[in-house]
Amino acid sequence: MLDLTAKHYENRKLENLVENRTIHTLKNAELNIFETHIQASQVMLRFQEPVLASMIKGKKVMHLQNTPSFGFLPGESVILPSNELMHIDFPEATPSNPTQCLALALSETKLKEAVDTLNQRGTKQNGQEWSILDYNYHFTNDIAINQILQRLIFIFTENHPSKDIFSDLLIQELVIRILQTETKSMYLKKSYTDSNNDRLSFVIKYIRENITEDLSIDILSEKAYMSESSFYRTFKHELGATPNDFIIEERLKIAESMLRNPKISVKEAYLASGFNSFSYFCRIFKKKKNLSPTEFKSLSNSMKNQ
């Protein structure tokens, strides 16, 4: 999860209890930190530039145009177009537990530069070019996106002569990672509904249905009717992860789900998730979750019993 820096608290003035705003401005972006200390509803907010909003602490309920209302929780982000009018509820905010949210306003020029960088490296497998983000896209931050946002908070609040340069580089990486996350989400959805009309969606479906089998690059590339090098390059370019990283991620999802069941042992979860080494399973699980499978299972079960 994201944390605000000591510099933020040193420089911020708490003037309002609802959406108190602290602004940090650079040449091509503006970082806003909003804090709400009391319950409120139908608070309106609008930005003139496209915005990435990411929750830091507490809960909001977001009401956006042409989008069903949704709960907005720490570790989640949403992309908003310029001039989108938001209506926001704060059902749980209190003085001792304020709601905190980051809003990163981005220049259209920088968004376009990031998209152009991706297209220079190659279009999508269907020949389509990468395009500006699908606005009102709501997603959970992965580790990389979370680390970039944390770094941006630090850069915006520090006093460094090159902070504009640092932020430009990080924002380009952030936009590219979000584009790849969005594309990955699209392929996952298509793998359930329309996998036969798309090579990568078909491969994702095959991975999911054969998760305990050998899923080597030569097998997967054959399923995609692509050469091994072309398949590997395309998969990584569009989903932001290698095929092997994606397989590990899917196996960990299965293991995590099964470990939440008190009737299923760690060994059963390991066998069902397709890892071929128990020690590797334990090592990679702890690396990704900061808990061993046994610790994760114990914690999950204790939370259910509370």
**Domain for residue 61, yes or no?**
yes
In whole angstroms, what is the distance from residue 59 CA to residue 198 CA?
37
Residue closest to 280 by CA, chosen among 296, 298, 264, 292: 292
pLDDT given at position 249:
94
User: What's 8's DSSP letter?
Assistant: H
Q: How far apart are CA 140 and CA 75, in angstroms?
A: 6
Domain region containing 267: 194-306
pLDDT tens by residue, 253-295: 999 999 999 999 999 999 999 999 999 999 999 998 889 999 9
Residues 62-94: tens digit of each pLDDT: 999 888 999 999 999 999 999 999 999 999 999
Does residue 18 lie in a domain region? yes
Euclidean distance between CA atoms 195 and 190, whole angstroms: 6
Question: What b/e sequence results for 192-206 when a residue is b if at least 16 CB atoms lie within 10 Å of its CB, and e otherwise?
Answer: eeebeebbbbbbbbb
Q: How far apart are CA 69 and CA 72, in angstroms?
A: 9
Which residue, of 182, 203, 224, is where some domain finishes?
182
Is residue 188 in some structural domain? Answer: no
Instruction: Compute the distance between CA of residue 202 and CA of residue 180 in angstroms, rounded to an integer.
Output: 18
**Token pair for 305:** 């019993």
- Residue 84 is classified by DSSP as P
Domain membership of residue 189 (yes or no) is no
Is 46 in the same domain as 129?
A: yes
CA-CA distance, 267 to 139, in Å (whole number)?
Answer: 31
Query: The sheet that has 40-45: what strands, in order across it?
Result: 40-45, 86-90, 60-64, 67-72
Do 174 and 199 lie in a common domain?
no
Distances (CA, A) of 269 to 259, 272, 280: 6, 5, 14
* CA geometry: angle 115, 25, 117, nearest 5 deg: 10
Q: Which of 6-10, 84-88, 115-119, 160-164 has the lowest mean pLDDT?
A: 6-10
Q: Which amino acid is at 47?
A: F
Whether 174 and 198 share a structural domain: no
Report the CATH number at residue 83. 2.60.120.280
Using CA atoms, how far residue 256 sits from 8, 220, 293, in Å, is: 36, 25, 8
Domain count, the chain: 2
What is the pLDDT at residue 304? 63
Is pLDDT at 306 greater than 60 in this prediction?
no
